[in-house]
């Protein structure tokens, strides 16, 4: 008998839909279809591929209200942020429509040969394992460049956003893509482990937790499969003594509270110079206190519930265990099922869960430091390496510190964010490989050396 996957609205607690898990025979059919389609799709002219992506971008915008409501119902994202997510997916798609052909063009290299160049050939069927926190964006930013390069994609999405996963498959079909180009798998972890070992799967892209990344990397390594891992983050937000707090406080608060704090690139550790610490704390608290909390389907809602109750329980334990080690709760730290109150915790030091670990929810850990040098040292004190942000009026001095923090991103006077034009990814426990930009479309191609003598 097939297992049943149920989706639940985290705000109301109501059941949404039930889905049958694929049998092994059904899964086999999907893999075969992806493999068969690849052999045709890889020979399709890039201009023909990008024409289909133009339609996909149009369909994203045409259906954005429907997609956004489904996203907000399945994982609780405020609807205004869901709409923005769909619009960003369309922007990314437009970016590759305009640039894919140039990114994939043969690169001529002058050598002793009569002609030599690098050819960018697709690999085959690529497995994507994606998380629930950005149900459309995480999938689209992986799938669009991967398919544009001539590959086919199989998606294993998080179970709690199965509706989003299946409607993304419909999006590709309705946009005119061959049936096997993009397929959603409703499968369990055991089936995925077997799939990674399958010779028809050429590579794996995972966005998820550090724990999941280590597991998938081990399986992929055992089977000699290329991987891209975008894992957790514990981003530092350094606030130097000369920071313009009035101009950037909204950005700093949003850096922690966007998506109800459920973002790998959120600012999780605020490292503040002591000369402005009290002023920062007062302004930060006032802004957090003013956040509009409520129904995710209302346009004025800014923060709402977490995606699952177990996530709130984990967050509560992280805060409570930090308090036991000497931290102080300035505000918040109350939970009710999936709701977790926006929380500010001070007196934070290394060795506390809110300093060492990723906190996936609306909890801001505040660390006081003596000077800028100590601030940068504290920022590097992390096993993660996704991104850092620095707020200061002396941008030239900040630029001299770029090499000091070994993260995948370094933002001055702005929130760490992904942009289709720039590579995105991390170091250390935040993973490896890059998504987006030209770097992203080259992750799942064979960079083939071609050498010709006449």
pLDDT in tens, 355-377: 999 999 999 999 999 999 999 99
> Can you give 80-110 as a three-state secondary structure string?
HHHHHHHHHHHHHHHHHHHHHHHHCCCEECC
CATH number for the domain formed by residue range(s) 4-231+430-452: 3.40.605.10
pTM of this structure: 0.97
The band of 388, judged by pLDDT with boundaries at 50, 70 and 90, is: very high
Return mean pLDDT, the chain: 98
| pLDDT in the model for residue 394 | 98
Per-residue pLDDT tens for 19-68?
999 999 999 999 999 999 999 999 999 999 999 999 999 999 999 999 99
State the Cα–Cα distance between residues 186 and 164, nearest whole angstrom.
12
Q: What percent of the chain has pLDDT over 90?
A: 100
Per-residue pLDDT tens for 103-143?
999 999 999 999 999 999 999 999 999 999 999 999 999 99
Per-residue pLDDT tens for 141-192?
999 999 999 999 999 999 999 999 999 999 999 999 999 999 999 999 999 9
Q: What percent of the chain has pLDDT over 70?
A: 100
Contact by Cβ (8 Å): 16, 8: yes
State the Cα–Cα distance between residues 8 and 28, nearest whole angstrom.
29
- In the sheet that 125-129 helps form, which strands lie side by side, from edge to edge? 182-184, 152-156, 125-129, 201-207, 226-230, 431-432
Question: How is the chain split into domains, by residue range?
Answer: 4-231+430-452, 235-419
| pLDDT in the model for residue 2 | 74
Q: Where are the alpha helices (DSSP H) in 338-403?
A: 353-356, 372-380, 395-399
State the Cα–Cα distance between residues 120 and 130, nearest whole angstrom.
25
Q: Residue range 386-412: average pLDDT?
A: 98
State the Cα–Cα distance between residues 106 and 119, nearest whole angstrom.
5
CATH number for the domain formed by residue range(s) 235-419: 3.40.309.10
| pLDDT in the model for residue 113 | 98
Among this protein's residues, is 230 annotated catalytic?
Answer: yes
From residue 366, alpha-carbon distances to 170, 302, 425 in Å are: 44, 22, 25
Q: Is the pLDDT of residue 1 over 70?
A: no
Q: Which of 85, 169, 210, 230 is catalytic?
A: 230
């Amino acid at each position: 008998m097939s297992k049943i996957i149920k989706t639940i609205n985290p705000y109301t607690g109501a059941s949404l839909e039930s889905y049958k898990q694929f049998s092994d025979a059904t899964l086999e059919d999907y893999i075969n279809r992806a493999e068969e389609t690849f052999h045709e799709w890889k020979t399709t002219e890039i201009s023909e591929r990008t024409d289909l992506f133009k339609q996909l971008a149009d369909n994203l915008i045409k259906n954005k209200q429907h997609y956004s409501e489904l996203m907000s119902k399945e994982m609780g994202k405020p609807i205004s942020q869901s709409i923005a997510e769909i619009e960003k997916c369309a922007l990314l798609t437009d970016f590759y429509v305009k640039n894919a052909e140039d990114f994939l063009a043969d690169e001529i290299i002058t050598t002793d040969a009569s002609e030599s160049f690098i050819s960018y050939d697709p690999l085959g069927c690529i497995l994507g394992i994606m998380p629930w926190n950005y149900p459309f964006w995480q999938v689209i930013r992986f799938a669009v460049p991967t398919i544009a390069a001539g590959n086919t994609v199989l998606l294993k999405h998080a179970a709690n956003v199965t509706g989003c996963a299946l409607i993304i498959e419909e999006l590709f079909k309705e946009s005119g893509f061959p049936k096997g180009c993009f397929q959603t798998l409703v499968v369990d972890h055991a089936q995925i482990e077997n799939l990674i070992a399958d010779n028809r799967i050429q590579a794996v892209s995972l966005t998820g937790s550090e724990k999941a990344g280590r597991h998938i990397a081990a399986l992929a390594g055992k089977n000699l499969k290329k991987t891209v891992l975008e894992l957790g983050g514990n981003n530092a937000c350094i606030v130097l003594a000369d920071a313009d707090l009035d101009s950037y406080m909204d950005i700093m608060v949003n850096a922690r509270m966007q998506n109800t704090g459920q973002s790998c690139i959120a600012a999780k550790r605020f490292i503040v110079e002591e000369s402005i610490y009290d002023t920062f704390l007062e302004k930060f608290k006032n802004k957090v206190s003013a956040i509009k909390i409520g129904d995710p389907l209302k346009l004025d809602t800014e923060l709402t519930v977490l995606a699952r109750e177990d996530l709130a329980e984990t967050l509560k334990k992280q805060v409570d265990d930090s308090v036991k080690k000497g931290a102080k709760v300035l505000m918040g730290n109350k939970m009710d099922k999936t709701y977790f109150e926006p929380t500010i915790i001070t007196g934070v030091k290394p060795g506390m869960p809110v300093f060492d670990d990723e906190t996936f929810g609306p909890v801001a850990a505040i660390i006081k430091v003596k000077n800028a040098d100590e601030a940068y040292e504290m920022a590097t004190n992390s096993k993660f390496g996704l991104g850092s942000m620095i707020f200061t009026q002396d941008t030239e001095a900040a630029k001299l510190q770029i090499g000091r923090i070994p993260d995948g991103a370094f933002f001055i006077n702005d929130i760490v964010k992904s942009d289709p034009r720039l590579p995105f990814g991390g170091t250390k426990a935040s993973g490896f490989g890059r998504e987006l930009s030209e770097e992203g479309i080259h992750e799942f191609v064979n960079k083939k050396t071609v050498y010709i003598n006449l």
